[in-house]
Amino acid sequence: MKKRIMVDMDDVITTGGFLHLINEYLKTNYTEDNFESFYMQDIVPNKDEFFKWFKTHNMYDYCSLTPNVYEVLEKLSKNYEIFIGTSYIIRDIIKDTAFLLPQKYEFLINTFPFINPNNIIFLGNKSVLNCDIKIDDRIDNLDGAKTKILFTAWHNKNISKDELNSKDIKRANNWKEIENIFLKEGININEWT
């Protein structure tokens, strides 16, 4: 039986869509370096108006694939069972976020034909997924895995190596690092630092 890997979608597989829409709405040129908090929308003065406007757009029309993600996931899919675990909940509009489900699903099935559509899971609390390996940009989403990999994003860059070590979490800065961990001969994930 193949080992199972859960991979997060936003800011791990895709990048930039939400920020693009914030910039378009505010007529600004923010980059990820302008943010430390996970919630980029906190910079928007009138969130109600922003989210009304936001819901008329598909943020996946404006996102990019994280560099090398397609190639690495395709290679991993030959040796591991890949699951996409992605949240569709937006803190500020909790009761009205179901519009993201078809957007995410269509993007994933059209972009990654080698991932089984039955392995796309929409959920907020990822601790219920007991996969062998989890790759996510949020520490709390890594619970329930034997091997936990924090994918570097703007909002987690300041988490120290000591804190990650204390929680038995490894950091990956990009998909090439993930490829090296799992696909190169002679690398033992338990020895990876």
Q: Within 13 Å and on the Cβ side, how many CA atoms surround 147?
A: 20
* Angstrom distances, CA of residue 20 to CA of 48, 58, 101: 18, 11, 19
Q: What is the pLDDT of residues 167-185, one digit of tens each?
A: 999 999 999 999 998 876 4
Specify the pTM: 0.93
Q: How much is the pLDDT for 57?
A: 97
Q: Phi and psi of 141, rounded to 5°?
A: -80, -5
Q: How much is the pLDDT for 184?
A: 67
Q: How much is the pLDDT for 1?
A: 85
Q: How much is the pLDDT for 36?
A: 84
**What is the rounded CA–CA span in Å between residue 131 and residue 6?**
6
Q: Which residues of the chain have pLDDT under 50?
A: 185-193
Q: What is the pLDDT of residues 91-123, one digit of tens each?
A: 999 999 999 999 999 999 999 999 999 999 999
Q: How much is the pLDDT for 37?
A: 86
Cβ atoms of residues 170 and 149 within 8 Å: yes
| Pure H helices in the chain | 17-26, 47-54, 69-76, 100-111, 161-166, 175-183
Q: How much is the pLDDT for 182?
A: 85
